[in-house]
Amino acid sequence: MKKIKFLFGIHSHQPVGNFDIVFEESFNRCYLPFVEILERHPKIRVSIHHSGPLLEWIESKAPWYFDKIKNMVKRNQIEILSGGFYEPLLSILPEKDAIGQINMMTEFIKKKFNYNAKGIWLAERVWDPSLPKIISKAGMKYTILDDTHFFYAGLEHKDMFGYYVTEKHGHTMSVFPIDKFLRYSIPFKLPHETLDYFKRIMSEHNVTGVTYGDDGEKFGVWPGTHKWVYEENWLKNFFKLIEDNLDWIEMTTFSEYIEKFPPMGRIYLPMASYEEMMEWSLPTTAGLKFEEMMKDLENRGIRDKYKPFIRGGLWDNFLTKYNESNLMHKKMLYVSEKIKKKKGKEIPPELRELYRGQCNCAYWHGLFGGLYLNYLRHAVYEHLIEAENIIDKKAHKNRSWIEYKVFDYDKDNLNEVLISNKKINAYFDPDYGGTMFEFDYRPKRFNLSNTLTRREEAYHHKIKDAEAGQHGGGANPKSIHDIVKVKEEGLGDAIVYDWYLRRSFVDHFLGNNTDIRNFMRCSYPELGNFVDKPYTVENISQDKKSIVNLTMRKTGNIKEGELLMPVSILKSFSLSKERAEIISTYEIANMGDKDIDIWFGIEFNLTLLAGDNELRYYIFKDGYHSAEAGKKVLNSVGEISDTKLFGMKDEWNRFQVMLSFVEPASLWYFPIETVSQSEDGFEKTYQGSAILSHWKMNLKSMKTKTIKLAIGIGEF
């Protein structure tokens, strides 16, 4: 009787920066029970990949789990897949880092499991035509990708059962297509439906081998799956059914399959990921049109017919869709360039920190929270800043120092200004309002500018439907892609879109009808053209006292009725080598021949990560918090007048950031909260706090008003 070779791959991962309780619950509810059931079914053979962050957690919390894997490796039941250790997207890394991450994982597998890995799990299956060269240089022979990649190369469903050879500059490797039917069926459909599918493709296409590869979290972490997979015995039943049919189903590994069967041919795959990722990466407007088109093709019954020619965007679109993603990526590249790799197998601490900062999860957003989860973004910055700290400590020892750089940091063909000392990093973008887009307190490895702009997402239109209860039921757990759940009431009203990026030192001229409510919702009248427009750098220098001075100017206009009144802003920043402080001076000049009344504001967007934690709160002019109201946590909304001091305090990390003004200012403060999609449903997430310092003044013709302020960080 003819047999079908079933290649079964599982990928388990928890991101750098995820909460310890999530690791623990995932281990106990998913990874461990899967392996324990696998132990009891020795004829079931699996290719398994654990990401580095998960392996490190297991090694510290449950090292005996390694023995279970090692024993099944010995009895030839498990093949272990390598990959980038901290689950990076290899295609967006410098080549040296991509190869280094794979080598780190391969060496870890050899040391802990006495196994020589031959293939890799490719994070998020993000493929780039340059990868065969990189993967081959790292000594790996194969990877597994979605059938989507192969459809885009012009193949049909009948061509998806086996593997192909691809190459770049003569460096070859094998690629296996993951069957989408299996990816959506296991473990969501009844076990016999998978075997029915095997029979069908064997009869229709004379299939030899078929590949399944997907997230291990489907087996206990995704909503509803623990009950279904373990309490209702889906996994036991699935394994038992396969064992009962081993006369025609043969479990094999990828490396064994390559040894026994020739490739189905040569192939060159386009840049791609799985189908859903390609849709998520599209700009919002394009994403909505794409969704509409796919529904139309489905309704007309021709979607599958034209599948090879239908695709969304590409992963790299996330770097244009989300400015915050691009800034993290460019920070990673910047830090990578600063590290000089030494020869030898030992991984220096700065390189390990860089690798941790390359974990992919915070760099994009789709079904999972990803970029919208502030603690994941924080983890990326935390490790990148620590890598910087190690590098600079080696260069400067324990001496105080300060330096500045002017270059195209974010790769938009325009220069940014980076000022750093031992205590802080302050990065400025002259061409976007002269704003500060990164403000790091280096001793605590904390980027206080790690906020997120509120922007439209393609899925926002689903929220009202979900709130109205328009979703179906069913006995089996739904695939996570099909779940629509609203985690709290009123999310539709919480959806707000910003028309500018949430940065600091943002310059506003407010209309008379502005109040805190419409300013919060970004629907206020802006009379000036300074917020997001280019400033010119007039000076960047370092004096003999090691103080760096940066001066930027813009001449623009303020609307006054039908008139445009010419106004100039000269803003200066001074940083010393000793202090974690930026001293700023604003000179606002009326360039016209008419006196004007102005309402000028300087906006800061800062984060201490938690909006409703009593260990993080606002500090008022008394140096503490409002006695009558108690601690005002960072998702509070309020306004005060005539203050010279205001700040945010973090008792957990034991530091505070303070704004001080020479002349009293009025202040508004409120949270920046986004409404986003996650695996658990739609949710509101605190992304940071907006603080607007503002002054009303009369500006005489050809005269200048000066505002002096400082932002500084201190520990307690």
In the prediction, which pLDDT does 489 show? 80
Cα torsion 407, 412, 413, 418 to 10°: value is -10
> Domain 491-715: which CATH class?
mainly beta
Helical spans, DSSP H, in 84-230: 95-113, 131-137, 147-152, 180-185, 191-205, 225-226
Structure confidence at residue 191 as a pLDDT band (50, 70, 90): very high
Please give the pLDDT value at position 628: 47
What is the total residue count of the chain?
A: 716
Kind plus residue range of the DSSP H or E element containing 579? none
| Burial (0-12, 13-18, 19+ Cβ within 10 Å), 504 | buried
Given a cut of 50, is residue 89 above it in pLDDT?
Answer: yes
Q: Do domains 4-273 and 491-715 have the same CATH topology?
A: no
- Cβ atoms < 10 Å from Cβ of 308: 15
614-650 residue pLDDT tens: 999 999 975 555 544 568 999 999 999 999 999 999 9
Q: Can you tell me which residue has the tokens 């909460």? A: 19
Residue 16 has pLDDT above 90, yes or no: yes
Q: Write out the two tokens for 393.
A: 């400590």
Residues 145-181: pLDDT tens digits?
999 999 999 999 999 999 999 999 999 999 999 999 9
Strands 655-678 and 402-407, sheet pairing: unpaired
Active site residues: 124, 215
Asked if residue 313 lies in contact with residue 277, where contact means CB atoms within 8 angstroms, the answer is: no
Distance of CA 166 to the CA centre of its chain: 30
- On the question of pLDDT at 475 being above 80, the answer is no
Order of all β-strands in the sheet with 424-429? 402-407, 416-421, 424-429, 435-441, 446-447
Most confident of 274-278, 298-302, 506-510: 506-510
Measured CA to CA, the distance from residue 150 to residue 268 in angstroms comes to 9
* Tens digits of residue pLDDT in 313-353: 999 999 999 999 999 999 999 999 999 877 677 899 999 99
Task: Express each pLDDT in 24-46 by its tens digit.
Answer: 999 999 999 999 999 999 999 99
Q: List Cα–Cα distances, 587 to 455, 553, 691, in angstroms.
A: 32, 9, 20
SS (H, E, C) 641-708: EEEEEEEEEECCCCEEEEEEEEEEEEEEEEEEEEEEEECCEEEEEEEEEEEEEEEEEEECCCCEEEEE
Residue burial 92-122, b: 16+ Cβ < 10 Å; e: rest: bbeeebbbbbbbbbbebbeebbebebbbbbb
Rounded to whole angstroms, the Cα distance separating 603 from 506 reads 5
Residue with tokens 């590949």: 211
Q: What is the dihedral of CA 377, 383, 385, 388, to 10 degrees?
A: -150
Fold of 4-273: 7-stranded beta/alpha barrel (3.20.110)
DSSP of 541-572: EE-TTSEEEEEEEEEEEEEETTEEEEEEEEEE
φ and ψ of 304, to 5 deg:
-65, -35
pLDDT band at 2 (very low <50, low <70, confident <90, very high): confident
Alpha-carbon gap, residue 377 to 15, rounded angstroms: 11
Residue 309, class by beta-carbon neighbours within 10 Å (0-12 exposed, 13-18 middle, 19+ buried)? exposed
Give dist(CA 619, CA 639) in Å, integer: 13
For residue range 531-540, what is the model confidence (pLDDT) as tens digits? 999 999 999 9
% of the chain beyond a pLDDT of 70 = 95
Q: Which helix (H) or strand (E) holds 86?
A: none
Whether the CB-CB separation of 91 and 131 falls below 8 Å is answered with: yes
Q: Is the peptide bond before 187 cis (omega within 30 degrees of 0)?
A: yes
Residue 231: CB atoms within 10 A of its CB come to: 8
CA angle 205, 209, 213 (to 5 degrees): 115
pLDDT per position as a tens digit, 280-289: 999 999 999 9
Q: Is the pLDDT of residue 478 over 80?
A: no
Q: Give the pLDDT confidence of 221-255 residue by residue, as tens digits.
A: 998 999 999 999 999 999 999 999 999 999 999 99
Q: Is the dihedral of CA 91, 93, 94, 97 positive or negative?
A: negative
Decide if 181 contacts 197 (C-beta within 8 A): yes
Q: Mean of the per-residue pLDDT values for the chain?
A: 93
* Number of Cβ within a 10 Å radius of residue 407: 9
Q: What tokens does 538 get?
A: 């007039």
Q: Tell me if the pTM is above 0.75.
A: yes
Q: Which of 438, 424, 449 is nearest to 712 (CA)?
A: 424
Enclosing H/E stretch for 455: none
- Name the nearest CA neighbour of 11 among 80, 75, 63, 57: 80
For the segment 677-686, the average pLDDT, to the nearest whole number, is 85
